[in-house]
Structure 1
């Protein structure tokens, strides 16, 4: 037979769901065109990498 599952408290459920939230994207200014771009990647507008 199947064992009944234990009920999770609200705090335990919230703590588990907290790790699934989206984290803010780290944007830096391009040194050539001064637009925001992702760090450690070439610029989407001018194509320069550092």
Structure 2
């Protein structure tokens, strides 16, 4: 989860504790950063290319 916090510093520890899936991460990034869904999906997908969620 530290990698997620490093990338998206607006996500709180409470947010991180609740994120269990990529879809949940996308939803939280979208909400916290006010991004359109497509942008949040793209950002998470790019970040996740070399990681296992």
TM-score, structure 1 as length reference: 0.28
Structure of higher CA gyration radius: 1
How does the TM-score come out when normalised to structure 2? Answer: 0.27
- Greater share of residues in strand: 1
User: Which has the larger helix fraction?
Assistant: 2
Higher relative contact order (CA 8 A, sep 6+): 2
